[in-house]
Structure formats: structure tokens, C-alpha cells
Structure 1
Amino acid sequence: MSFEHASHGSFRLGLPSRDEAGVSLDNLRSQYYQPLRQTIQDIQKDYVDQISNQGPRQPGDMHVGVIGAGMAGLLSAYILKKAGFKVTVFEVDDRVGGRVHTHYFDKSKNWQYGDLGAMRLPCTTEHQRVFNVIDELNKVNKENEDRKIELIDYILENDDGRTFFNNTKAKDKTIMTNKYAKDHPFELGFHLGPLPLDIQTIWDSILQYFLPHFQQSFRNGLQFLMQFDTYSVREFIVHPPPLLKLPLENVKVEQFMEGYTSATGLFRLGIVDTILEVKGGMQRLAEAFLPSVEDSIKYKHSVQKLEISGKQVGITYAKVEDNKNQFPSLGHETDFFDHVIVTCPLGVVRHWDLPDDLSLGKRTAIRSLNYDNSVKVFLRFTTRFWEDPKKTDPPIYGGQSTTDLSIRKIVYPSYGMHSDEPGVLLVSYTWANDAAKFGANSHKDVAELALRDVVKIHGEVARTEYLDYVVHYWSTDPITGGGTFAYFEPGQFSSMLPDLKRPEHNIHFAGEHTDFHHAWIVGAFNSALHATESIMKGAGLGGLFADVAKPFINEYSVSSDVDQTE
């Protein structure tokens, strides 16, 4: 059993291997979520039983309002329109994608872009739905080359990236490469004493506490693990259970593991893979939906209120000039729908006027669900100097450098290698407290501070070749309502997810925050399947849903019998 270092900067539970547990890894992952999945499946069944008493309906007679043209909203609209429903999508911005957002420095060139939001797609079974959606969109857009989605390899790690902590350098006075730092951990300046500083070894020593219970049976292991659902990672390490012995003073272990391998502040959150990216930016994935759904999207329409009127749901909205001014006092209009799917982050939803009888659980989740901070800083340079052995020795092709400087992580592009175009570099990708510390500064100052840190790692060549920048602080972006992606605090996952999934009246909630795989595109897609399934089954259209959603179905998230495999 092991913990995986997730790309969002935290450690995630990796389940036992076949040898350890006697069953396949894919089946174990499915079982891991099964208790909550069963609860959500029961919630959906109760809703379908209740709504189906109203009798079957034809899709052409039903109008569904979708709030938000992010990934969950786009797939929801695509499925419903394909099934013959009338659909209206309300989007406050002038573009689709939501937190999938690519900035283009120069659209006339091939590699002058950076993904401000989601930027990579793990090739795992659990993320297969994303690739199924891409295949479907490529099929429906096969005559439109501009909408084709092409995937390229994303290089996550590189031995030649740099490691710079505590102002320490290699013995030859150069910045350590990642390989050098891994081979010489005691030179990083953490004063850890005689500790084997292999991160996986430390995690393995922690996880031995759980392994015997999983060896008895997966059910026993899961029940034992859930006793710690209210723990944060920090609390578990600093104040471990009585029989757990760590190889060093607990606080030092936590400080090293969080500071060196994660993002400052993430370990206060819950305890409880080949990678690809979209050529040309992840925005292309969102825009590939447009030929199928754009005629249903109302751009620059900001939702103000949801209300119940008989069997229908009213959406009160206002037309706005931009997403920074979403709540005008005048000019409101109301349209009524048979169903509404809310896909916005909950920080946005909290500002709306909601039905008085919305459940306590739903209101609590809207008010309390934790969202993480995130900042991305892209700088553009006259050349890709990090790939030039005359300017960077050894050169760096993809992967990342890590540091305790304010920028924390430099991500080198896996696209456009050896190009003679200007170089676009993600010079800072931060989360949690590291991101919050950038929040008070202007974008210009953030770019300058980031450039200073890059110079410390790459030398004056960075200053000499610097051209321009883009900074995106998601927590102050109006479309997010104060956070980047859902990051459950201890106890929130098991206590809030059922309430998040439960439809109220004919209002359905979707988005990455409502799925097991929160903070990932696949979570948004999963939630769209769940919401549209609830609507269509409730109307007696379960067979139609199965036909329309067939390209996207696998065993990992829609809580229906259609989606289950033995």
C-alpha cells in the first residue's frame, strides 16, 4: 500500500496492489468509493422514484437550464441536446471552459500559450471518461479540423530539473539538479539527522499501520481507515496513533514532507500515473463542444436567483458587461425550466437568492465546503533558454524544478521543444498558503517577484531575455467565487458529498466539487453524467440515456446500473 504524490500537490491514498490484497487494482479503487457510491445511488433512486410518479415525458417537451459553461455544464448540455431536450446554458463569461482557461500570448504562432487552469490528463482507468469524451468530440467534429483535439505527452518529472532549498547548492557551487538532490538528500539543509529521506519510505512506514487491516479484507481495511476521516495529514503525522512509530521527530517529518514535496498549508487538509496534455492548450477541449451546443449558450448572463414555481424552477438572471460586475441592481429577467443543473463553484452559488426550503445539508455545503487557492505565473522570454546547453547546463526538457522560494515550482513546457519561437515558461505554480501570499500584490509585482526567483535558479539569462507575463490568481477570479478547486477538509468528504449530490425539487448540482474525483476534469464530467441520468430516468427515459451516454460510460462514477460492471 502506498501514497501517491498527486499533481495538485498533495498526497493521495494509493490502494493495495494485487499482490497485497489478492484482487485487481482497478476493482480495489472501485471498492474504495463503494460505500459512498451506494449512498449516492440510493439518493438518485429515491429522486427518480419520486419524480417518475409524475409520469413519463418526451425529451422535446422538456426545457433544462444549465448554469455554467465549464466542463460539467458543457457535457450536460451536449448529452441533453443529443437526446432531444431543449437546453439553455447561462454563462457569465464571454467564453466557455470555466476553470479550463488557456492564455494565448500570440495566436499566430504554435507554442505561445499557457494553461491558466487545468493542464494535464492522467492516463488511468479512473480518468478514462475524459478520453472517451475527446474521442466522441473528435468524431462529431471530424469535418472541422479547427476543432480537432490532439494529445501530446506531458513530462511530469525530469532529473535535470533543479532543486533549490535552504539556499543550499551542490558541492561544485551550482544549483542542484533533481537527480543530485535525490542522491544527496542530506545536503538540502533540513538538518534531519540519520533519516533515510526517501519520501516513499517515510510514507510506507506510516502506511504499515493500515496494511494489516487491508490484508484481512478490503472491507476491514476501509472501515479502519475511515476512523481517521476527521484527521488532517498534518495531525496524523504530528500526533500519530499510539502504535505508529515514525523514523524521526514527528514535527520534523511533517515539515520536511510538506515543504519539500508539497505546498505549504496543504497538509492541514484531508488525508483521505502516463500523463497527456492537449496540443494548443486545454481550452481546445472546451471549445470542441461549441459546434454542438453554442446555439444554446447565453454569454454574459449572470444568475441572481433560483425559485420554485409548481413543478418548475425559475432562473432569474441579468445581462452583464463582464464577469467582474455580476450583480446589477436592475435589469433582471426570469425564465422557467423543467429542470436546472447548477455547475458553478459553490462560492458563486452562495451569492444567489436560493429557495427558502433548500435543505440544511445543502446550505451547509454551499457555505462551508473548502476550496484551495492557486496561482499560476507565466513569463515569456526571447528564447527557450532552459533547453539551450549554452545557457543552461544541463538543459531541461519538460519536467519541473522545485524550491522553497516564493515561486515553489517551475514547470517546463512539454510542448514546442526545440522551437525557435519565444519561450513560454510556467515559472510559478503554487497552491494553499504559498498562493495566498501572492494575493495581496499586483500582477506586475508578482511577475517581477517571480522573475527574481527564476534568476536565482537560472541566472541573469532570465532577466536578459524576459519579454512579458500573465498572472492568474484563481481565488480572486469572479467565476470561482473565492477558490480554485474543491479540496475537502477533514470529515467534509464523507459528510458533504451526499448532500452535494442530492437533487432538491428539480434542481441538480454538478461540477468537480460534487464528485469523488474533485479538482479534476473527470470529476466534472462524472457529475454531468450523474445529473443528466437523474433527469432522464425520472422522465422514464433511462433507455435513451443509456444510448446517448454510451460513448462515455465506464465503471467509475455514474451511480447507475448502466455504469456498473462486475
Structure 2
Amino acid sequence: MYCGLSILLLVSRAFASPKPLPIGLEIREELDSSLANIHVSYARPVARSHLFTYGPCQSNHANDAHHQITKSSDSEADRLVWLIPDDATSDGCLSAWTDDGNVLLGRSEPLKFRKELNGSWGSQRKRGIDMTNSSGIDASGPWFDGVDALRGKNPVPLRVKEIKEKKIAVLGAGMAGLMTYLNIRDSGFANVELIEASGRLGGRVRTEYLEGGPFDYQYQEMGPMRFPQRIQYAGTNETLEINDHKIVFQLADVLNELNRHDPEKKVLFHPWYQSSPNGLYYYNGIRKPDGTVPTVTEVENDPSLSIPTVADPVLDEATEKINAIMEDKEFLGEMAKNIYRAHKAFIDTGLNNLGGEDWSQFAYMHNYLGYSLNITDQTIGSAGADSFWNNLFENFYFSATEWVTIDGGLSRLPAAFGPIVEKDTKFNREIEKLEYFPEEGGKVKLSWKGNGTYSAYETGMYDYAVVSVPFSVVRRWRLPQFSPTLKSAVNNLDYASACKVALQFSTRFWEHLPQPIFGSCSTTTDIPGIGNVCYPSYNINGTGPGVILASYVPGDWGHRWISMPEEEHVEYVLNAMAEIHGDVVREQYTGKYTRKCWDLDRYTSGSWAHPTIGQHKLFIPSYFQTENNVVFVGEHTSYTHAWISSALESGVRGSVQLLLELGLIDEAKAVNRRWMARWINV
């Protein structure tokens, strides 16, 4: 009897389900690039070292695999970084083995790769965060790819919970810092500090309210003002969507959702009038017979109201050659679709296959094409010292025929971050020093003025820092431990300067002229130091007071005006407005004004990055490297400058860069997919 029972037990064991393998392996994100995370789970501890491979699902030994992924002896690690070779094919399985490769410890389901038809990752890999050459970045390239960088770092198995408990500092609460914070927070990090030197959010986004609140409409923008949307070609039905700026509208949607559409925080857009046929044209003191200043349309129709010119066939020829580059519809279309890839194309093949960014317009016109100094100056003027790329993307944006702005002022965009960042923001903490301590586990030490003085410092230690502060301010930090190229970028990157003066009037008199002006920055003049005059695009035909941006002048005058006391500067601008518009200016000026010269702002020391010839090519590779656990973001690290979209794009890139540095491929792809699939890849 007992013998029969033993036989039955043996038979039942033979037909019982095999014991589950101790290691679970799965992929949770689509395999659309050559970077992936493998999620690992342990049903029970594995006492010995073990290895992970990819290969046939029926393999009986690790040697049968296509390639080995990594080794581990940590049964608490829950994720691996997988650098997928280009020749890996679909329908294989991930496997875990004892370190001798003899015993199978775990196996995934068969996997599918989403590759190009030719079998390589191709553009799909680019979509998954692209970096190529041996320096870690294709400096001219369309986007950022961490594959090569991670390949050289031999990633170790990850304990994700511990990683997401790391202390991270985001320095600067401008748009780049705010975007970076949002992405890191949404990736599951709970220990993030947003450190801001001033007492406000927004950085160079700055709406000045001369009285009342946002919807009293007594404000002007002292920083960014508007967003280009589309270019409609005259006489055709052809319209170009400007894709890279769409990140601003997407961010507004995200913030509105996070704030549950609270009316006090909601970000809404309305049209911006960039141009007006009734803008005034005041040059050489020329006026109409009745003594008033002519409009743009009147000057176009009556040459006697404009500055006399002499026909010059050589000047016409030179102008045509510049316009052929600056107004190339085919290339403008490429910029509209994907300005980052257009940048690479221009660097590689622009200017008669000579390359583009390293050429100034002056060098191209005078040195290469051989035009005289006078013709060169008349053709390109002050733009001659800039790189072709800088002038090209600015010309492209300002070719837009449809624009929008934010109702109530652009400061409502950073203000919408307020409830989101409130608990993690440290205001009035002006960083004076950043140091790296490898002997303390690779910690970043930040020092700031204790009690607001230089006599004592307070300090904090962080695992990583993301720096969005302009390099014009970072120069004080010295950064002795960083690479020579990065230090050179910090110390030498050029910044533009600009001053703005806004004046309030008791009525919106400009909208009640015989030829009314509704919005726009179309009034121009040669009165020194005035630049553009911009009328408000909001509250059109409203009653009560209104505010004009009476002077917006970048460049050399942005430096010059800071030597003049504010009261004298404002009086000069008021006199210029009276010279252009007449007695109504003095009759209706309320005495309320605001002036902003960005060189005087200790937290920016300049208006926006304005790289000189070659600085993109030289410095961008260093921005895309993580040095000493520090990542650099900000509009100065983007391929375009001076726009909110540039700052936001850099925040996306910096977030992805940090997540890749930590091995969090899934989170990096989620950020990439959230912010780019809709606006960079078309």
C-alpha cells in the first residue's frame, strides 16, 4: 500500500507545473529606439551573480544568445539599461542565467522592435533621443541622442526607488527651469528644489502692470511679447505652420489641466497684431503737407514721403542674392516643420555648400561674393556681424503673418506654475558658488549669501543640479572643475542688450486717429535710441487709459541707455513720442511709466543669448554633456535664442539628459514623447 502511494506521488510530481522561474523580465515601453529599460522582478532572492542576455526564446544556454546585456548580483535592482545593437532582430526573448550561463533564471515574452524597413533604427532611433559622434553629440544635429554617451558608461542595474529619492536642484525659475522642474517632478522624483535668486517666477518673462491687475489691461511686456504661429504667403493659399513654437501652447494646456482650469491661473491666448498699414513712418523729419507723420501705406504710395534713394543695379543684385537665401520658401518650409533638422541642413550645405553658421553676412557678401564695402553695408546693415543662422531663424519667425499673445500678459504663463512649484521653491537664494565633490559620492555643493551678505555663506549638498541661469550670471561662479570648453562658453558666450520704456495715456488715442492704429509694432523712426513703437494688441477699442511700448531698442543702445538716469531716459522717449504723434502725447500722458534695461538686472545681466560666429559649433557640444553631475539648460543652450519656445525646448532636452544619466530610459522617452512627438517630428 505504501509503495503504491509513493508511486502515485512520484507520478503526480512528474505531471505537476514546473516551479516558476525566480526572475521576471518585461519591457513596458515600445521598442522604437536603441535604448530601453528592462524591468526586473525577483520572486525569490537569487544568491549568486547572474547575467542577462537577448537571443532566441528557445535557447538553453547563455552562449546561444545574440548578445549579453549586463551582469548583476543585486536581487533588489528592479531595472536594467539596454543598449540594443543595430543588428538585433525581433521575436527574441530576454533571459536571465546563472553566471556560468548553464541555468535559466528568467525569460520574457517574445519582443517586437519597431525599426525602419531597411532593418536599422534610422530616424526612429533619432526620435528616441539622438546623439551620434565620439564627443557625445552631433553639434549640428537635429536632436539629442544618449546612446553613445550611455554606451561608454557601462550602466549598472538600477534601484529605481533609491534613484528617485536623489536630491536635485534646479537653479533658476525662468521658463527653462520651470519646464525642467515639471518634467522631473512628473517623472516621479520627490526631492527636487527649485532655487530662484529673485522673489518671482518667470525670469525674463516680465509683464509690468502700471495699474490694476491683468484684466484691467494697463500693462506692457518688458520681456518676450508674442508667439509666431503661421506664415501665409501673399497671393497663394500656402500656409506654413511654425511647429517649434507649439510647445508654448501645449504647455498652456498642461498647466490649465494641472490647475483644474482655475480662472485665476488659466492661460489663454488672443491675437497679436504684429503689423499695421497705419503704423507711422518718421524718417529724416519728413512729414505730410498738413504737418503730420505719414503712415506706412502712404509712404509706399508716395515716394516723396520716404528717404530719397538712387537706383543702383549692383545694390539690387546684391539684395536679390541675400533674399534668395533669407526668403527661400523651400527652406522656410523645412524650418517650419523641424527647425532643428533645418539647422543641420543649413550648417552642412548652406551658402553654396560652404556651410552656414560659421559665416557672417558681411564675410559672405564682401569676402566671398566680392561686393564693395558700401554695397555690403547697404544690403545687410547692422546684421552683417551676425551669423547667417541667427539672422535666418529670426527672419523666419518675423515672416509670420499670424501671431498670438497671452491674455492678461505673458507673466500669466510662469504664474500658472505657482501652485505646482510652491512647496519646492526657494526664493531670494542667489547662488554664488557651485562645486563638485567626487569624494563625497559625487555631490554638488551650492553656496549662497547668508542673510543676504557676502560675509557669510549658507550651503546645500545635492546629487545633481540643473542650471538654467544665464551664463552672464554664472560667470561669477568660476566653475574650476569643469571642462575648458564649458568654462569658455560660460565666460565668453555673447549676450544681447535691450531697453524698453512703456508710457500710460489717459485714452487709447492712437485707435481714434483718422487712420487708426490697432496693435502692432509698425511705427518706426530714425530718432536715435527709440527703435520700435508697439501699441497694445489687447482691449482693442476699449475705453479708459492705455499703455504704449514707446521705445524698444536692442543692441548698442541697450548698453548706452543704462548710462542715463531713468527719469532722463523716460523724458527723452516722451519727447520722441510727442514729435511723432503731436500734442496729444503731452495732453494725455498720465505720468505713469516703466523702464526695463536688462543689463541692469542682476539676475540676467543681459537680454538673451546672441552667439557670435562659431559659438554654436564650439559650445553646443559642451551643453549636451553632463559634467560633474550638472546639466545646463536655458535659451542660451538652444539652437534658437530669445524665444520662450527656445527655453522650453532646452528644459525638455535637459530633463531627458538627466533621466538618461540616471538610467531612466522609460521616463526619458515619456518626456520626449509628451513634448516632441507633436511638434518636432512631423
Moved more, 88-97 or 415-424: 415-424
Show structure 1 runs of 5+ residues with no match.
1-30, 259-264, 322-327, 558-564
TM-score by length of 1: 0.81
Counterpart of 1:496 (choices 575, 599, 619) is: 619
Which residue of the partner structure matches residue 79 of structure 1? 183
Which residue of the partner structure matches residue 206 of structure 2? 101
Q: Deviations over 1:165-208 (max 9, x none)?
A: 1222346543121112234456422544357999xx96443254
Task: Give 1:429-448 correspondences, 5 Å limit.
Answer: 429-448=552-571
Equivalent-residue separation in structure 1 for 2:488 and 2:451 (angstroms): 29
Moved more, 510-519 or 490-499: 490-499
The answer to whether the aligner puts 1:513 opposite 2:641 as a matched pair is: no
The answer to whether the 8 Å contact 2:362/2:376 transfers is: no
Counterpart of 1:136 (choices 240, 254, 269) is: 254
Which residue of the partner structure matches residue 46 of structure 1? 149
Equivalent-residue separation in structure 2 for 1:518 and 1:122 (angstroms): 14
- Counterpart amino acid of 1:369? L
Which residue of the partner structure matches residue 68 of structure 1? 172
The Cα shift of 1:548 comes to: 4.9
The answer to whether the 8 Å contact 2:656/2:671 transfers is: no
Please give the secondary structure, in 2, of the residue aligned with 1:518: coil
The Cα shift of 1:134 comes to: 0.9
The Cα shift of 1:241 comes to: 2.1
The Cα shift of 1:251 comes to: 2.2
The Cα shift of 1:556 comes to: 6.1
Which residue of the partner structure matches residue 10 of structure 2? none
Give aligned pairs, total: 503
Equivalent-residue separation in structure 2 for 1:48 and 1:68 (angstroms): 31
Which residue of the partner structure matches residue 287 of structure 1? 415
Counterpart of 2:321 (choices 188, 198, 205) is: 205
Which residue of the partner structure matches residue 459 of structure 1? 582
The Cα shift of 1:72 comes to: 0.5
Q: 1:428–1:66: structure 2 CA closer, same or farther, 3 Å change rule?
A: same
| RMSD of aligned alpha carbons | 3.1
Show structure 2 runs of 5+ residues with no match.
1-129, 131-136, 230-241, 332-343, 390-399
Which residue of the partner structure matches residue 275 of structure 1? 403
Equivalent-residue separation in structure 1 for 2:308 and 2:619 (angstroms): 38
Equivalent-residue separation in structure 2 for 1:44 and 1:416 (angstroms): 51
The answer to whether the 8 Å contact 1:52/1:538 transfers is: no
Equivalent-residue separation in structure 1 for 2:630 and 2:320 (angstroms): 44
Q: 1:548–1:231: structure 2 CA closer, same or farther, 3 Å change rule?
A: closer
Q: 1:437–1:267: structure 2 CA closer, same or farther, 3 Å change rule?
A: farther
The answer to whether the 8 Å contact 1:375/1:431 transfers is: yes
- Counterpart amino acid of 1:485? W
- Counterpart amino acid of 1:107? G
The answer to whether the 8 Å contact 1:51/1:539 transfers is: no
Q: Deviations over 1:417-456 (max 9, x none)?
A: 1111211000011110132231211111111000111111
The answer to whether the aligner puts 1:375 opposite 2:375 as a matched pair is: no
- Counterpart amino acid of 1:352? W
Equivalent-residue separation in structure 2 for 1:455 and 1:268 (angstroms): 34
Equivalent-residue separation in structure 2 for 1:299 and 1:209 (angstroms): 46
Q: 1:51–1:288: structure 2 CA closer, same or farther, 3 Å change rule?
A: farther
Structure with the bigger RCO (C-alpha within 8 Å, sep 6+) is 1
Counterpart of 1:404 (choices 521, 526, 549) is: 526
Q: 1:502–1:193: structure 2 CA closer, same or farther, 3 Å change rule?
A: same
Q: Deviations over 1:105-142 (max 9, x none)?
A: 11245201111101111112111111111111111112
- Counterpart amino acid of 1:271? F
The answer to whether the 8 Å contact 1:338/1:506 transfers is: yes
The answer to whether the 8 Å contact 2:272/2:537 transfers is: yes
Q: 1:250–1:208: structure 2 CA closer, same or farther, 3 Å change rule?
A: farther
Q: 1:366–1:229: structure 2 CA closer, same or farther, 3 Å change rule?
A: same
Equivalent-residue separation in structure 1 for 2:678 and 2:640 (angstroms): 14
Which residue of the partner structure matches residue 88 of structure 1? 193
Which residue of the partner structure matches residue 16 of structure 1? none
Please give the secondary structure, in 1, of the residue aligned with 2:636: helix
Equivalent-residue separation in structure 1 for 2:160 and 2:255 (angstroms): 28
Q: Deviations over 1:496-515 (max 9, x none)?
A: 22222322121000000000
Equivalent-residue separation in structure 1 for 2:323 and 2:217 (angstroms): 43
Which residue of the partner structure matches residue 121 of structure 1? 227
Q: 1:194–1:551: structure 2 CA closer, same or farther, 3 Å change rule?
A: same
Which residue of the partner structure matches residue 468 of structure 2? 343
Q: 1:422–1:48: structure 2 CA closer, same or farther, 3 Å change rule?
A: farther
Q: 1:93–1:218: structure 2 CA closer, same or farther, 3 Å change rule?
A: closer
Equivalent-residue separation in structure 2 for 1:107 and 1:84 (angstroms): 39
The Cα shift of 1:236 comes to: 3.5
Which residue of the partner structure matches residue 17 of structure 1? none
Q: Deviations over 1:265-284 (max 9, x none)?
A: 45422222221101111100
Which residue of the partner structure matches residue 26 of structure 1? none
Q: 1:208–1:524: structure 2 CA closer, same or farther, 3 Å change rule?
A: closer
Please give the secondary structure, in 2, of the residue aligned with 1:61: coil
The answer to whether the 8 Å contact 1:48/1:534 transfers is: no
- Counterpart amino acid of 2:477? W
Which residue of the partner structure matches residue 480 of structure 1? 604
Equivalent-residue separation in structure 2 for 1:111 and 1:474 (angstroms): 23
Which residue of the partner structure matches residue 358 of structure 2? 230
Equivalent-residue separation in structure 2 for 1:312 and 1:117 (angstroms): 35
The answer to whether the 8 Å contact 1:92/1:300 transfers is: yes
The Cα shift of 1:52 comes to: 3.4
Please give the secondary structure, in 1, of the residue aligned with 2:267: coil
- Counterpart amino acid of 1:412? Y
Equivalent-residue separation in structure 2 for 1:126 and 1:192 (angstroms): 41
Q: 1:218–1:439: structure 2 CA closer, same or farther, 3 Å change rule?
A: closer
Please give the secondary structure, in 2, of the residue aligned with 1:222: helix
The answer to whether the aligner puts 1:359 opposite 2:483 as a matched pair is: yes
Larger radius of gyration: 2
Please give the secondary structure, in 2, of the residue aligned with 1:147: coil
- Counterpart amino acid of 1:363? K
Please give the secondary structure, in 1, of the residue aligned with 2:519: coil
Equivalent-residue separation in structure 2 for 1:159 and 1:202 (angstroms): 28
Equivalent-residue separation in structure 1 for 2:203 and 2:465 (angstroms): 18
- Counterpart amino acid of 1:499? S
The answer to whether the aligner puts 1:395 opposite 2:519 as a matched pair is: no
Equivalent-residue separation in structure 1 for 2:454 and 2:345 (angstroms): 55
The Cα shift of 1:304 comes to: 1.4
Equivalent-residue separation in structure 2 for 1:221 and 1:318 (angstroms): 49
The answer to whether the 8 Å contact 1:165/1:189 transfers is: yes
The answer to whether the 8 Å contact 1:185/1:197 transfers is: no
Identity rate of aligned residues, in percent?
27
The answer to whether the 8 Å contact 2:315/2:378 transfers is: no
Q: 1:223–1:412: structure 2 CA closer, same or farther, 3 Å change rule?
A: closer
Q: 1:172–1:383: structure 2 CA closer, same or farther, 3 Å change rule?
A: closer
Q: 1:379–1:203: structure 2 CA closer, same or farther, 3 Å change rule?
A: same
